Amino acid sequence: MGTETLSTVETTEPLISQSPTTNNQEFDTETIPTWKEQITIRGLVVSAILGTLFCIITHKLNLTVGIIPSLNVAAGLLGFFFVKSWTGFLSKMGFLIKPFTKQENTVIQTCVVACYGLAFSGGFGSYLLSMDENTYKLIGEDYPGNRAEDVINPGLGWMIGFIFVVSFLGLFSLVPLRKVMVVDYKLTYPSGTATAMLINSFHTTTGAELAGLALCLELSRT
């Protein structure tokens, strides 16, 4: 019976060359504006318009399909398109326009996602409006589990309080989850990572062209 000898080969050089990239150096030297500069009037206006539009889309999908896809990338794309078109038009009119930064784009995307997320998580298309008296009578008073004490008609006061509690419940649960999943375990958040890469790519020399192509692709799918 023959014997096999195992030989080990030592490597003294890294398998992948670590060359510095100009993009990382550019991001490191970039000055980050303060939070007051990131929150602008034009950003809030665009956020309100896109938030209303996305809420309508969310209600439509919630009442027909029942499944809401992730619209983070679309929110970042449309936010860039609207503000960039706004600033470009005013610049041609001769007005002095404040530069549109990626931080402002992120604020717009965050506000829009919060609007349509609250429209879905708040239950406006499912349980919230189905607890009224008309639904109770439509189902039938003798139906098992349909109780009169569970009836609550829609009201502006208690609905605002309910949405307020739902919003802060998500905020308080998100902070410890981020600490465990992202900070400790170093897990990649797919939707957030894709949105961040998209916004970073838009705010380059060819960002406007990329945004136009992406918007055409999104419109062609609808």
Query: Where in the chain are the domains?
Result: 39-221
Express each pLDDT in 202-215 by its tens digit: 887 666 666 666 66
Q: What is the pLDDT of residue 16?
A: 40
Average pLDDT over every residue of 107-115: 91
Whether the CB-CB separation of 126 and 62 falls below 8 Å is answered with: yes
3-state secondary structure of 148: helix
pLDDT digits (tens, 9 = 90+) for 172-204: 888 888 888 888 888 887 777 888 888 888 887
Distance CA 143, CA 147 (A): 8
In this prediction, residue 217 carries a pLDDT of 66
Task: Find tokens 């990239």 and name the residue.
Answer: 21
What is the rounded CA–CA span in Å between residue 73 and residue 191? 8
Residue 27 class from Cβ within 10 Å (0-12 exposed, 13-18 middle, 19+ buried)? exposed
For the chain, state the CA radius of gyration.
25
Q: Is the pLDDT of residue 136 over 70?
A: yes
Per-residue pLDDT at 43: 92
**Helix, strand or coil for residue 143?**
coil
Q: Outline where 93-155 has alpha helix (H).
A: 102-121, 133-139
